[in-house]
């Protein structure tokens, strides 16, 4: 049964390897100043300001006289952006607050591309899990913190959601027979079991071309990495580690390799396997453990590295090796990072809250992590749509 429970009470919070430590506590010195003076719907202005701030490249000012770029106009009419020798226009037809926020996100993405030369992520939702005791449900939200909704209400334990294209989400549901892979259709609001396997089935991640899914199956004993041809419904095994377990697969941008976690060395570390040859190599070796890999659009893998008892957000380019490893220095313990399409920001959790984290260093204008929304509950395992 479709569950579209809107959270009206939400208030967006405007809140051994060679390693490089990245400090993201600064606000940056070279942001483009922008003012927003749009009439007709406060929801448009609130969303636009929030999304411009999240890019890390804009600084929203109170007065037009303080800004290099000025956004003006009326919701339901025309919105104009002028400054730095460029003019953008957005015909507005929004009839309610939700539609106004959709338009604001589109404009924020257009401004990011025009003025910053980066791919905007304001219109890209992320899916995540809301924990309620022993039960957890699948939810969806946006970086600006508005329009949060609960998708499922099955009363089961849901973990590890991953996008499959624009409108379908794979996730693992813990049922009586053990963990199994389900899919949720955004258009119909229906959930269904995707595959039936003996033993556990988890971690479904879809290849960039949408033709294959990397999954973790225990059909031959311990959990191993497999690839399923989704059209033919056939599968092949990529790993064979009888005394270890694999998990958390993530595809490379070109679809030829898969990053995954294995405890083959007795501690969880990140490995990469070539899908065609099945040859694998270990990517990480420092830290107490390395988990939660997400392979981003620029070829870097973001993951969580446990160091001194804390989970740190880290990045590494497996093609470049140890010298490319960076630790993003943010306070607290982090989990489950997922790249945005700009290759700079990730959505991640800390203390059961979801944050947008800037991986740029302070010297390059990196910002502090910003909480996506403020609401009661435990919010975990976000996955950001990048298509």
Q: What is the CATH number of the domain that holds 242?
A: 2.120.10.30
In this model, does residue 21 exceed pLDDT 60? no
Helices 42-54 and 97-111 cross at an angle (nearest 10°) of 30
Percent of the chain with pLDDT over 90: 77
Q: Which of 67, 83, 116 is a domain's end point?
A: 116
Band (375; pLDDT cuts 50, 70, 90): confident
Task: Say yes or no: 183 and 293 in one domain.
Answer: yes
Task: Give the Cα separation of 71 and 58 in Å (integer).
Answer: 13
Question: E strands along 176-300, which residues?
Answer: 178-185, 190-193, 201-206, 212-217, 224-229, 234-237, 246-251, 257-262, 269-274, 280-282, 289-295
- Answer whether residue 8 shows pLDDT above 90: no
Pair 144, 276 in one domain:
yes
Predicted pLDDT at 377: 85
- Mean pLDDT over all residues of the chain? 89
Among 90, 116, 142, residue at a domain's last position: 116
Task: State the average pLDDT over residues 279-289.
Answer: 92
**Averaged pLDDT for residues 232-241:** 94
Give yes or no for residue 385 having a pLDDT over 90: yes
Which residues touch 266 (CB under 8 Å, ≥6 apart)? none
Are 369 and 329 in the same domain? yes
Q: Are residues 85 and 146 in the same domain?
A: no
Closest CA to 287 of 253, 323, 314, 251: 314
CATH label of the domain that carries residue 46: 3.30.360
Q: What is residue 177's predicted lDDT score, i.e. its pLDDT?
A: 65
pTM (global) more than 0.75 = yes
Residues 42 and 140 grouped into a single domain: no
Query: How many structural domains is the chain composed of?
Result: 2
pLDDT of 349 over the 80 cut: yes
* Of 58, 90, 116, the domain-final residue: 116
- Above 90 in pLDDT, residue 19? no
Question: What's the rounded Cα separation, in Å, for the pair 218 and 268?
Answer: 18
* More reliable by pLDDT, 157 or 97: 97
Q: What is the mean pLDDT of residues 22-29?
A: 43
DSSP 31: P
What is the number of alpha carbons within 13 Å of residue 59 lying toward its C-beta? 15
pLDDT per residue over 197-219, tens digit each? Answer: 888 899 999 999 999 999 999 98
Domain that holds residue 362: 126-384
Q: Are residues 51 and 173 in the same domain?
A: no
Mean pLDDT of 230-237: 93
Average pLDDT on 221-235 reads 94
């Amino acid at each position: 049964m479709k569950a579209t429970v809107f959270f009206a009470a939400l208030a967006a919070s405007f809140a051994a390897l060679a390693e490089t430590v990245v400090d993201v506590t600064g606000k940056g010195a070279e942001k483009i100043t922008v003012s927003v003076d749009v009439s007709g719907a406060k929801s448009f202005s609130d969303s636009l300001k929030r999304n411009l701030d999240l890019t890390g490249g804009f600084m929203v000012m109170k007065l037009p006289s303080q800004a290099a770029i000025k956004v003006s106009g009326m919701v339901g009419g025309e919105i104009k952006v002028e400054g730095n020798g460029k003019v953008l226009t957005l015909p507005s037809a929004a009839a309610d607050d939700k539609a106004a926020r959709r338009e604001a996100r589109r404009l924020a993405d257009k401004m990011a591309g025009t003025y910053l030369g980066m791919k905007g992520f304001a219109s890209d939702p992320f899916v995540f899990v809301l924990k309620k005791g022993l039960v957890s449900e699948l939810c969806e939200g946006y970086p600006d913190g508005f329009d949060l909704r609960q998708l499922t209400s099955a009363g089961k334990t849901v973990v590890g959601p991953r996008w499959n294209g624009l409108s379908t989400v794979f996730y693992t549901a813990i049922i009586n027979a053990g963990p199994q892979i389900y899919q949720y259709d955004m258009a119909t609001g229906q959930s269904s079991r995707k595959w039936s396997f003996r033993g556990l089935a988890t971690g479904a991640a879809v290849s960039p071309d949408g033709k294959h899914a990397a999954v973790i199956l225990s059909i031959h004993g311990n959990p191993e990495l497999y690839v399923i041809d989704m059209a033919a419904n056939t599968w092949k095994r990529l790993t064979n580690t009888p005394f270890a377990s694999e998990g958390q697969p993530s595809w490379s941008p070109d679809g030829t390799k898969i990053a995954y976690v294995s405890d083959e060395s007795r501690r969880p570390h990140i490995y990469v396997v070539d899908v065609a040859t099945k040859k694998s190599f270990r990517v990480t070796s420092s830290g107490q453990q390395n988990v939660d890999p997400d392979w981003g659009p620029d070829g870097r893998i973001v993951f969580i590295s446990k160091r001194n008892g804390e989970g740190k957000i880290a990045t590494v380019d497996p093609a470049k090796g140890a010298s490319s490893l960076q630790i993003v220095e943010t306070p607290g313990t982090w989990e489950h990072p997922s790249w945005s399409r700009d290759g700079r920001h990730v959505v991640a959790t800390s203390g059961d809250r979801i944050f947008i984290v800037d991986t740029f260093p302070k010297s390059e204008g990196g910002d502090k992590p910003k909480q996506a929304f403020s609401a009661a509950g435990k919010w975990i395992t976000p996955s950001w749509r990048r298509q």
